[in-house]
Structure 1
């Protein structure tokens, strides 16, 4: 259990570093209410639906694939 917690902490630290590298910001304030979350999806089949510069797209798709593979080991990526 301790190893899993350490893995999660390490991953969170990596995400904080990625946030800075990708120049992402956290918006403060009230969140929008989502009426029907079943209609939303975060799945990216082939990455073609990502809009933006090609280099950023490749980075995001690569990160997604890395996360999906690492989480499937814990049973999360199914």
Structure 2
């Protein structure tokens, strides 16, 4: 990883993109993990996980015959780390 301000995130993007194209796993260094979090990617991941868990729970309640129609406008709230 480079020490420049934009190089770190650009390098991480390039590395992730290559791994996606290759269909291969990757490990992140501590610096790469910092860039991942600061870029907002971690916050986006948290929002996706919260939404999926919300959907799973809603589906289980409905499968048991529960009515969650009053909650359908509800969205799981995860505070964005970048505002």
TM, length-normalised to structure 2:
0.27
Query: Higher Cα Rg: structure 1 or 2?
Result: 2
**Which structure is richer in relative contact order (CA contacts within 8 A, separation 6 or more)?**
2
Which has the larger share of helix? Answer: 2
